[in-house]
Chain A
Amino acid sequence: MARPTARKELIGQSSDPRVPVSMTVNGERVEREVSPRMLLSDFIRHELRLTGTHVGCEHGVCGCCTVIIDGKAGRSCLAFAVQADGADIRTIESVAAPDGSLHPVQQAFRECHGLQCGYCTPGFVMSIVDYLEDNPDPDLSEDAIREVLSGNLCRCTGYKNIVAAFRRSAELMRGSR
């Protein structure tokens, strides 16, 4: 059976001009031409092949795709790559030192068993890295920690060990100052 031609015509008519973007990702300058509708999360994963940034819900609820954009944690599924033109982006791949030694936040997640399947972990780590860089002496009450973590979902288990990892992260980062 022949495919309907209407659809093909539609695609032929729709214009999807490529827009040049350049940004710094994990300290490296990258340049690409992208469709305006390409999400930053897809740009990071598909164009740059940095697959540590995970994609869960694609509507800003789960927090898996959190990266640091110009010094502030943000959802990469709620930004278009074209919006990041000229930006400085940090992804989970930049967090550990080049020799592989873990960042204090990663170390804390390991020590406290703050993960099971690991799908949500990059998002949690990026949210916490950004928060603790901004707030080196954070309120460590249960409520305050849960407030910070409320933008990231973990579906494996409860949040007990993740809260513990946040506390330990703050300690380790204070120690490394």
Chain B
Amino acid sequence: MKPALFAYVAPQSVEEALELLASDEMARPLAGGQSLIPTMNFRIAAPSALVDLRRIGALNGHAVEGDVIRVGAMTRQRDLERDEAVQRANPLIAEVLGNVAHIVIRNRGTVGGSIAHADAAAELPCMLVATGGTVVARRAGGERTIAAEDFFLFHMTTALEAVELLTEVRIPALPPHTGYAFQEVARRHGDYALAGVCALVTLKDGVCSAVRLAACGVASKPTRLAEAEAALLGAPPEGEALARAAEAARDYATAADDRQASTDYRRDLASALVRRTVTKAADRARERA
């Protein structure tokens, strides 16, 4: 229950951090530590060095700019959750964050840390996939933006290269005429989800003109439920179309049986959660209209 030995550095700039990370492939960046430190305490992870990002002012802070919310990697989850401008721009974010562990964990946990950690059952990655967000990855002498769907490759595995640092997360604002919902089922409130579904439903004349659905906890990474989206497109978000969407969601639950749940149970959860979140998102879309 104590971590293995490691070296510790707390650089003042992104450039310095990149240099340190590039010099030692076993070094890891440390953000809020709410996922990394427990894995180190268990000695599941034993990095040779931690590059603590807390002194890098450029990674802090967030702002709503037009129809995108720019979030510095070191922004604390609780700060984003409580920001009124962010709540106005995309209320889905606070709803999702309310399911991330506990307040005391969110006080220290960072947005960039959770996204880069990429747990397949985590809520923030699922939200980023559902909203079509992007991440910014910096490396010495350059940066690239990566779409959420290309970023998450597998449980705890992302498209980030060893010489790159996630510096920013960009979350689109909620589009007009669109309702949102996130719901999950967990053994205890605050646990990782056995299954969770994020829904964005855009209504025009009572039918779905756009639908985005993503699930966490059901597969090896946060997953777009494309077939379920297709079942709803052009149809009212209820009745036959909703039944077909809920049915289509089942096949995305591929996680093997584990101590917490069986694959069959997760298939049922994916289906039930699509039904509930689409209904709630559609209600909210009507309220906004």
Chain A interface residues (CB < 8 Å from chain B) = 14-17, 19, 35-37, 39, 42, 58-60, 63, 66, 69, 72-75, 77-80, 82-83, 85, 127, 130-131, 146-148, 150-152
Contacts and interface: CB of A to CB of B under 8 A. Distances in A.
B108 A150 contact: no
A127 B52 CA distance: 25
13 contacts: A36-B5, A37-B6, A58-B1, A59-B41, A60-B34, A72-B107, A75-B34, A77-B37, A79-B37, A147-B103, A150-B102, A150-B190, A151-B102
B38 interface: yes
B289 interface: no
Contacts of B3: 37, 39
A39 B34 contact: no
B104 A74 contact: yes
A14 B34 contact: no
B54 interface: yes
B52 A78 contact: no
A147 B52 contact: no
Contact of B108 (A17, A72, A82): A72
Interface in B154-208: 188-190
A73 B50 contact: no
A14 B5 CA distance: 8
Interface residues of B, number: 32
Contact of A77 (B7, B30, B41): B41
A131 B103 CA distance: 9
B104 A66 contact: yes
Given A83-B10, A151-B101, 18 more contacts: A15-B5, A16-B5, A37-B5, A39-B3, A39-B37, A58-B1, A60-B37, A66-B104, A72-B76, A72-B78, A72-B107, A72-B108, A78-B105, A130-B104, A131-B103, A150-B102, A151-B104, A151-B190
Interface in B3-41: 3-8, 10, 30, 33-34, 37-38, 41
A83 B38 contact: no
Contacts of B98: 147
Interface in B90-111: 98, 101-105, 107-108
A83 B33 contact: yes
B104 A79 contact: no
Contacts of A42: 2
A83 B2 contact: no
Nearest to B36: A78
Contact of A73 (B4, B8, B37, B104): B104
Nearest to A143: B189
Contacts of B34: 60, 75, 78
A60 B4 contact: no
Contact of B33 (A35, A58, A79): A79
A150 B189 contact: yes
